[in-house]
Structure 1
Amino acid sequence: MRRRLRFIVQQLITYSRTRIDNHSSRPNIQNCQSINSIHTSCEKHRNSPLSARTTPSVVGSNVHIITAISSIRPFITMASKSSPGKSNFAKQKFDYFLVLDFEATCEDMQRIHPQEIIELPVIKVSGKTFETEAEFHTYVQPTAHPQLSTFCTELTGITQSMVDGQPTFQESLKMLDAWMVKEDLLRDNNSFIFVTCGDWDFKKQLTHQCEYTGIEFPHYCKQWINIKKAFAAATGIYPKGMPNMLNHLKLTLDGRHHSGIDDSRNIAKILREIGRKGFIFEATGNL
């Protein structure tokens, strides 16, 4: 658009220097038609401040188009100030995105059964502005293997004192449900979907822990967006992990990797950046 406006101004200046034959009783029709074609082109720009004054007036032998340049100067200034990285959020299918990243008990080079969630964070992101509106966060007391391994603490930064005395898995799900009610997420006229970094959180961890504890699987967790798959659809590159996505999008990794709340906030940044480019998100996983 900026290049087009520059061309228009150059043409206006050129025609302003064009003189009409003093001995002719009428203006140079070809020049006037050319100028009018520029005026028509300008009018095609939506919300352009061009007005009827942009049509040049012929006085004597001079073509006066200074008013035309003055009229479009605010438009040129506005265009020059617009950021090349301006947000271009498309209308999404969901009112809210709930970004989630579990942390769970783990051992080095071996599997724990059952593996238990020890951190449950959720970031509420607007589907219109992609801004964070609220956060839910709790550490969770493991019961099958209450003592965290050294490897688990080194990986996640979660210490024993951070989970001791915290809500159990069942209690934390009730707290999440109450928070979602408080945030008006469970109303019929609000649509939302969870966003995870992979399919593990819901397809494996939450499914297995609900089965182990005999708790009904939350109905609102039965579909989700795997941000890796959304990233691949938007960029054509399947990422190795969250740091890889951040690096590709030229975003910083804030906080500690494998901290549930920090990872959720970083995933929300990736979500926003992809959305800023006009990508429309769809569910990628379901149960």
Structure 2
Amino acid sequence: MSFNISVPGKHVTFATWSDWDLQICLHRECLRKQLKKPEFFNYWIDIRYMYKKFYHRSPKGLAGALQDLGISFVGQEHSGICDTRNTAVLISRMISDGCVMTITKSLAVNTNKVHAH
């Protein structure tokens, strides 16, 4: 499942390491700033969940997941830009290993995880 976000022919889905960023943090921030959260933020791929299902192991954080695959974390952990770049590296590796990325969370439909392949 992917969603068209204002660009004809282009489909994007957000990916995060855990549900916290889009399920809790963004929700609270929008409430605090009295902003309406765009609908497309209600769907995402939890890379931590996909990692556990695909590799059948539970890493100790993003850096641990990379380390399990022989990849070094580059930059400072918990820096937004560094975490984003390292998550992209992890996603790329997972896809090259055969993982099919699917939406794992949909706040618009329900709060249960969608079955990952």
What TM-score do you get using the length of structure 2 for normalisation? Answer: 0.83
Q: Which has the larger radius of gyration?
A: 1
For 2:16 and 2:6, the matched residues in 1 are separated by: 19
SS in 1 for 2:37: coil
Tell me what 1:198 maps to: 18
Give the structure 1 partner of residue 89 of structure 2: 269
The CA deviation at 1:186 is 2.0
2-structure distance, mates of 1:185, 1:207: 19
Aligned to 1:228: 48
Number of residues paired by the alignment? 107
Shift of 1:94: 5.0
Query: Which whole-Å deviations, capped at 9, do the CAs of 1:66-107 have from their partners, x for residues lacking one?
Result: xxxxxxxxxxxxxxxxxxxxxxxxxxx659xxxxxxxxxxxx
Change (3 A) 1:278 1:229: same
RMSD between aligned alpha carbons? Answer: 1.8
How far residue 190 of structure 1 moved from its aligned partner, in angstroms, is 1.7
Flag as ranges the 4+ runs of structure 1 deviating above 6 A.
none
List per-residue Cα deviations over 1:88-136 (Å, max 9, x = no partner).
Answer: xxxxx659xxxxxxxxxxxxxxxxxxxxxxxxxxxxxxxxxxxxxxxxx
Asked whether the 8 Å contact 2:62–2:87 carries over to 1, the reply is yes
**One-letter amino acid of the structure 2 residue matched with residue 192 of structure 1:** V
| Match of residue 6 from structure 1 | none
Q: Hey, what's the Cα distance between the residues in 2 that align with 1:268 and 1:247? A: 15
Deviation (angstroms), 1:185? 5.1
Match of 2:100 in 1: 280
Distance 2:15 2:101 in 1: 10
Amino acid corresponding to residue 60 of structure 2 in structure 1: K
Query: Displacement, 1:191?
Result: 1.3
1:216 to 33, 36, 48: 36
**In 2, distance between residues paired with 1:212 and 1:232?**
33
State the structure with bigger RCO (CA 8 A, min sep 6), 1 or 2.
2
CA distance in 1, matches of 2:38, 2:8: 16
Letter in 2 for 1:281: M
Q: Please give the TM-score of this superposition, normalised by the length of structure 1.
A: 0.35
Instruction: Give how far 1:187 is off.
Output: 2.1
Alignment partners' CA distance in 1, 2:42 and 2:93? 25
Query: Using the alignment, how far apart are the partners of 2:44 and 2:71 within structure 1?
Result: 23
**Aligned-partner SS, 1:195:** strand
**Percent identity, aligned pairs only?**
26
Report the AA paired with residue 88 of structure 2: A
The whole-number CA distance in structure 1 between the counterparts of 2:5 and 2:44 is 15
Paired residue for 1:239?
A: 59
- Tell me the CA shift for residue 219 of structure 1: 1.7
SS at match of 2:13: strand
Deviations, residues 151-196 of structure 1 (Å, cap 9, x unaligned): xxxxxxxxxxxxxxxxxxxxxxxxxxxxxxxxx9522422110010
Structure 1 segment 168-183 matched on structure 2, within 5 A: none
- Partners of 2:10 and 2:100 in 1: CA distance: 18
Alignment match, 2:112? none
